[in-house]
Amino acid sequence: MKYLQTIISTLTVLILLFSGCRKIHEASNLELTEYAWDQYEQGNYLESYIGFKEVLTVDSTYQDGYNGLGWALGKLVQIDSSIYYFSAGLPLTQPKDVAANVRHELWAGLTFTYEASSQDSLAIINGDFLLTAISQSAQFQTATWTFSHDTNLNHLDLRLSLALVNFNLGNFGTTFYHIKSILQEVDSSSTFIADTTTVLGRQAMAAKLEELHDLLALP
């Protein structure tokens, strides 16, 4: 009987220890999110999507989980779903354990996805929100933004998207403004001029937009 009690006691201790270890090693939201972003950065977008879904299973209010789902789904060309998660994340609170401004990344994601789905007016609204926010933060310096999980994607890409959607809507003056803003950073010696009221001027802007698209696509 004493032998049986000893075995039971030992098993009980082992179970308690094992349970304790499981609790100690249970992944936090931050750890789950970091794993999912690692998958995103490596180009494993489906694995990234699955990872971010797990994040929201643990905490359905975790803003960066919605952010990650939006970007991962965008890469998987699930544009409507991408827009859904970006939009759902906007009202949520910035996570204290995330250094990047998540709302800025949500606005950027919505700008690109609305452009991709030809919802030009909505792309402009979200892009302008982001430009206004970073301009206020920059004060007297150049307003910049870089996606924290792909440093090749930045405010220049955002301005290009805004130039394109404004061009589509016939806002040629705004298109020209964004083109000049991009050129100030990528080619300060540029003397590009276009009369936004003429067909030739608009053709010149269309050609410049294509040129800038190819330039910014370079790694």
Residues 112 and 131 in one domain: yes
Residues 116 and 165 in one domain: no
Residues 100 and 39 in one domain: yes
**pLDDT at residue 65 in the model:** 98
Structural domain ending residue among the three candidates 126, 144, 162: 144
195 within 8 A of 201, measured Cβ to Cβ = yes
**pLDDT at residue 26 in the model:** 61
The low-confidence residues of the chain, meaning pLDDT below 50, are 1-25
Residues 93 and 172 in one domain: no
Query: Which residues are CB-contacts of 102 (< 8 A; sequence separation ≥ 6)?
Result: 63, 64, 67, 89, 94, 95
**pLDDT at residue 219 in the model:** 77
Residues 139 and 162 in one domain: no
Residues 105 and 164 in one domain: no
Residues 64 and 160 in one domain: no
Residues 212 and 119 in one domain: no
Residue 192: domain span: 154-219
**pLDDT at residue 15 in the model:** 33
**pLDDT at residue 109 in the model:** 98
In a domain, 202, yes or no: yes
Residues 100 and 188 in one domain: no
Counting the structural domains of the chain, the total is 2
